[in-house]
Amino acid sequence: MPHSPVVIGVDSSTQSTKALFVDATDGRTLAVGRSPHRVDGSAGARETDPEQWWQALREAVAMGLKESGVPASAVTGIAVAAQQHGLVALGRDRRPLRPALLWNDTRSAAQAAALVAALGGPRAWTDPTGSVPVAAVTAAKWRWLCENEPSTAARCTAVRLPHDFLTERLTGVAVTDPGDASGTGWYSTATAAYDPELLQLLRLAPELLPTVAPTGGTRVGTLTTGAADALGLPSTVVVAAGTGDNMSAAVGLGLGGAGLLDHPVLSLGTSGTVFAATRARPATPALSGFAATDGSHLPLACTLNCTLAVDRVATLLGLDRDDAEPGGEAVLLPYLDGERTPDLPAASGLLTGLRHTTTPRQLLGAAYEGAAVTVLRALDEVLRACGLDPASPAVAERPLRLIGGGAQGRSWVETVRRLSGRPVILPTGTEVVAVGAAALAASAVLGTDPVALARAWGAGTGPELPPLERDLATWERVGSVIESATPALFGPGGVTDPGSG
């Protein structure tokens, strides 16, 4: 009996690859294959060999095929969503010349600051790109490579983002999409094209870059014979352009031009990320003004320190991650890896307000509060970029969708509810990045709108928790410490502007 058509949505994140097998007709999840990556580096360095991503993709697909029981012949499409910003430098053989510089590699902070100054300040960047370079942005990493490893840069014949690298390995086609391209620092969201002036500033030849497909759901080819053999799939499998992980999450949640607009999302993972899909083109130094992959826009703010930082505090205290109580007078900013929003790349953690009565559980709760207030302050900027007043009762009542690994944890959910005062939706579909990629794959196969398709699949729906009375005392106490974050507190390289991440 013929099997329903199946698509594969790939989520290649910082820590692992997931391959989600989805029935394209109704969105049912058939299986999820997983395979981990290794991240190397210390003192600000964060690197991964891109070949690990390809090997993990092969392993995740093989696992998904086995667990789903789906015949390989039923798979009709695949799309990759991956961590944003990473710099993959390829040689003439299209193999990596060195490990990829990941988004959370902060060594390029000085290069980011130099780029901002060279163009004439933050506004000179937001006008074309919608964003101001920080250490995470690919342009700063390219500048770092040119300055620190000039021989590698000279041998580079192709520059790719992580998702571009995997899509090219699948199809042999050098292609990206507007969403992921908008996080490079050399793509203009104003003109929907690479910016010649910025490429000249970066000394980056345009022929080193992939072409930009109209949307992430655009069909860019089929599997090469080599990729089909490596994955155990037919060479007829259609490959979509794919996108970055945040853009794919928006699709998976049904946010965008054909779905919900101006509805906020908070992702609690390695990083803490807030975003919303909107028709307004954001151009403020306080945010990353990304393009969404469907033609709308995705104002976004990202903090470096989220679940991993709080888990580290729990380990130091010898506690389980849910052994937390409200922090009382203690304030703990868990900026263990520097910080992006606020832009303090050289930051370390800060603890203040200790008393004899402070308990270990309160210290852990203070770490949750420090991380949550940091990212929720950024949420207000996202709402303003959508043309909304965060203090308006109507806006404050708009539910906050909570996704990522932290959304599965009781302490994270309750801390966000207490400090935001908002109703919270916990989407039933936990793999929203992979769901978005699957919808992009199905779009390339069927010619349908990926956002409308994902909404029909229902991944963005789930139980809604009512708002709690907002803990304004903690909000103001933590906020005052964040606002006092200066280079004197956090060391050289810190920036005092809390909205410049």
CA angle 33, 37, 41 (to 5 degrees): 165
Active-site annotation holder among 164, 177, 180, 245: 245
Residue 177 annotated among the catalytic residues of the structure: no
Distance separating alpha carbons of residues 150 and 159, to the nearest angstrom = 15
Peptide bond into 342 cis (omega under 30): yes
Q: Which of 353, 285, 1, 237 is nearest to 124 (CA)?
A: 285
Distance separating alpha carbons of residues 168 and 137, to the nearest angstrom = 21
HEC assignment per residue over 430-469: CCHHHHHHHHHHHHHHHCCCHHHHHHHHCCCCCCEECCCC
Query: 207 Cβ partners below 8 Å, 6+ apart?
Result: none
CA distances from 383 to 57, 153, 228, 365 (A): 36, 39, 43, 27
Both tokens assigned to 121: 């300040």
Q: Are 5 and 436 in contact (CB under 8 A)?
A: no
Residue with tokens 């193999």: 95
Q: Are 416 and 400 in contact (CB under 8 A)?
A: yes
Which residues have a catalytic role annotated?
Answer: 245
